[in-house]
Structure 1
Amino acid sequence: MENLCIVSNFAPLYREPIFKLIDAKWECDWYFGHNTTDIKSISPDTLKRMTYVNNRHLAGIMGWQDGIGRLIRDKRYDRYLMLGEPMVLSTWWNLIQRRLFYPQKRIYLWSHGWYGREGLLKKWIKRVFFGLADHVFTYGEYAKQVAIRQGFDVEKITPIHNSLDHLKQVGLRKKLSKTDIYTSHFGNHNPTLIFIGRLTHVKRIDQLLDAMSRLNKQGEKYNLILIGTGEAHNELDLKAKQLGIENQVWFYGACYDDNQNAQLIFNADLCVAPGNVGLTAMHTMVFGTPVLTHDDFPWQMPEFEAIRPGETGAFFHRGDVSAIAQGIHNWFVCHPDREAVRQACYNEIDTRWTPKYQIEILSTIIK
């Protein structure tokens, strides 16, 4: 069997578990761009055969990966799994060459795909780009439905979701138990809200602080722990003081201790993500904590699909502080059974958001 050629913009650490499963399933050659982001990368010796290439940018957008455009001509490969990013011209070049000169080869694209906010030009570009591939794996069902509405072939697209290090997380989860970490810190028994991730402006944690202030005025008090740091940290700290809720907010800071993060999440009651939720949803649900985030799905990340309203979380109207406050209030009024919610979160992640789930889908399509 010919080798499977895999191309991506870089090798993010959070994808190490699924990459390892792919590496064990097929004879793989991996081509990664050099990582220039603040996202951690996997070690260069993690996979059997890894090659690093230069990512070249045009007008601030990655436009070409050196050496990738000729891979379609390499006789070692008859199957390719590539990052499906329409702005990468080297991927276009492989797709076009394959269509014209190597019809016996197969190219599969792994991509966010469609957001649902594309204009006419982007819709056309994506339809052509993804249409050149043999199959497209999207991060979620929402992207598939958008693609179908835009005329894409339903038989050529399969949601694959996303995953973290599920086996490790379940191992940690089995050791968890309720502690007094929040009652000790805050000196009360109020419900504890949590957000874990970088404190950037796009996450709109400021709206969460405003919602807490509004709830205070209604006689409802909540604690909040923010695990992470970032560009918005100082502004949020100042805002909490201006609102008079500084004693209700714990700026925990960045934490890279998986055991500690698991305990903090497990003992919290509700994760609130006023901006797009992303991997935060998976990180909190795997340890049993539901998620409240906004309902403007074209501006969400694919992981919002793990939220099943009334079971593993809920949605509110994007950008509406009163809706955030109401969403928090409603959650605690309507979901008094914390253990039932915890089990629903476990079940959602364990069944659809794992490397095992992903490799099973990949194996059914890539022959």
Structure 2
Amino acid sequence: MKKIVIIYPGFPHYRDGIIEALLASKKNIYNFVGDKNGYAGVKPYDFKDIKNFTHCPSYSIGPFFFNKGLIKFALYTKADGIIVHSNPYWISIIIASVIFRLKRIKVLNWAHGLLNDQDNIHNRLYYYFFKIFFDGLLLYSNQSKKNLVKMGYNEKRANVIYNSLDYDKQIQLRGSLGEDERRKIRAQMFIYPDYYQLLFIGRLTSQKKLDLLVNTVKNLKDENIYVNLLFVGEGTEKELLMNQIEKLKVEKQVHFYGASYNEDNNYKLIASSDICVAPGEIGLTAMHSLVYGVPVISHSEANKQMPEFEAIQPGLNGALFENGNTYDLKEKIKDVIGLIKSKSKSDLKKDCYQIIDEYYNPKFQLNLIEEVFK
């Protein structure tokens, strides 16, 4: 069995699915290196007493990020392959990558790559960073790979690994919410639970453009199309949104649930909804909704999106509207309502499940990693 070392500044809790799949691998032995306390304020994955984990505390100096003890680890560790998660400002990880490559060990960077196709200083910096310091890339999206190849990156060195959440847990949950309980959940939040229920789940921040969503509820109402809107999350925009809702007189159609971090609860909130809508950038939320059979709407401007927006397949499991265009958002919501009406519930759910079950899951990621290091 080969020994593959995975180095992150810290491992976020939402990587639990792929971490556990790697730990359970029967082909390779995977070791993890990073700060056990996480980084960037994100809740860390708890490795508990797993012997395959090495703690390297992190600290920063200005924009530069370091992991204490990582260079020594790189100098004295034997391995058959290395995966890092790094950008040009994470100095210890870059130096460790150089050390491993000098030892003739293959090093891949598991990274976003280039999220837009602009030929600017920022993208040039990242292009040469990826090209010079690593043997290849594991990328979250086909769009990112396309952008890199357009700038001259070797297509064969770029592998699209997509993303995943706690897929096994989600598979256990999905389909378990009965119609009676679904209606009961809706009735606890809305006066008219039979209206189609729109959902936004995530931080209530300005970059999410949630004011567009509230305006769309009013615009649909003006056409005698009534929908409910459920916000799951907290954030700086909440008070502004509440004022907007009051001004537009749609208070009875909007409910603020608050933040929820429990997957069982999140499943019920998502599965009780009809459409998940993210007017701004959409990331993991796209996967979170589709895996539970709920179609997704977000905007179509690839250069201002997160990688997971690729999971949305218009006419099949959701829709993409023109960025910032409230009229088009309204029309796309009507289109997806039409999609819901035209399909059986089981067929609609299957169309949502398909892309997640095929690509956005730990099994796909594990198989790709083991193929790359075969």
Q: Specify the TM-score bucket, using the shorter chain as the normaliser.
A: over 0.9
Give the counterpart letter for 1:69 in structure 2: I
Which whole-Å CA distance do the structure 2 matches of 1:86 and 1:199 have between them? Answer: 30
Please give the per-residue CA displacement for 1:206-249, whole angstroms capped at 9, x wherever unaligned: 11001111222222211011111122222222221111111100
Which whole-Å CA distance do the structure 1 matches of 2:171 and 2:344 have between them? Answer: 19
Which whole-Å CA distance do the structure 2 matches of 1:75 and 1:171 have between them? Answer: 38
Give the counterpart letter for 1:357 in structure 2: F
Which whole-Å CA distance do the structure 1 matches of 2:332 and 2:49 have between them? Answer: 43
Contact 2:175 2:292 in 1 (8 A): no
Contact 1:269 1:290 in 2 (8 A): yes
Contact 2:149 2:155 in 1 (8 A): yes
2:88 maps to 1:86: yes
SS at match of 2:24: helix
| Equivalent residue, structure 1, for 2:304 | 299
| Equivalent residue, structure 2, for 1:285 | 290
| Equivalent residue, structure 2, for 1:147 | 148
| Equivalent residue, structure 1, for 2:57 | 54
Which whole-Å CA distance do the structure 2 matches of 1:65 and 1:269 have between them? Answer: 44
Which whole-Å CA distance do the structure 1 matches of 2:261 and 2:77 have between them? Answer: 43
Q: Which among 164, 169, 191 is matched to residue 187 of structure 1?
A: 191
Q: Give aligned pairs, total.
A: 364
Which whole-Å CA distance do the structure 2 matches of 1:166 and 1:123 have between them? Answer: 32
- Alpha-carbon spacing, 1:334–1:171, altered in 2? closer, same or farther (3 Å): closer
Give the counterpart letter for 2:111 in structure 1: S
| Equivalent residue, structure 1, for 2:326 | 321
| Equivalent residue, structure 2, for 1:208 | 213
Contact 1:63 1:90 in 2 (8 A): yes
Please give the per-residue CA displacement for 1:69-119, whole angstroms capped at 9, x wherever unaligned: 3444224234211003222122332344445x32x2111110111111554
Contact 2:145 2:158 in 1 (8 A): yes
2:319 maps to 1:309: no
Structure 1 moving runs of 4+ over 6 Å:
none
Mean CA deviation greater in 24-33 or 248-257 = 24-33
Which whole-Å CA distance do the structure 2 matches of 1:62 and 1:204 have between them? Answer: 31
| Equivalent residue, structure 2, for 1:352 | 359
Contact 2:297 2:320 in 1 (8 A): yes
SS at match of 2:241: helix
| Equivalent residue, structure 2, for 1:21 | 21
Which whole-Å CA distance do the structure 1 matches of 2:94 and 2:118 have between them? Answer: 19
SS at match of 1:48: coil
Structure 2 gaps, min length 5: none
Mean CA deviation greater in 303-312 or 26-35 = 26-35
SS at match of 1:346: helix
- Alpha-carbon spacing, 1:191–1:159, altered in 2? closer, same or farther (3 Å): same
Which whole-Å CA distance do the structure 2 matches of 1:259 and 1:28 have between them? Answer: 29
Question: What TM-score does the superposition give when structure 2 sets the normalisation length?
Answer: 0.91
- Alpha-carbon spacing, 1:321–1:58, altered in 2? closer, same or farther (3 Å): farther
Which whole-Å CA distance do the structure 2 matches of 1:157 and 1:195 have between them? Answer: 33
Structure 1 gaps, min length 5: none
Please give the per-residue CA displacement for 1:33-85, whole angstroms capped at 9, x wherever unaligned: 342444321213164332232333343x3433223234442242342110032
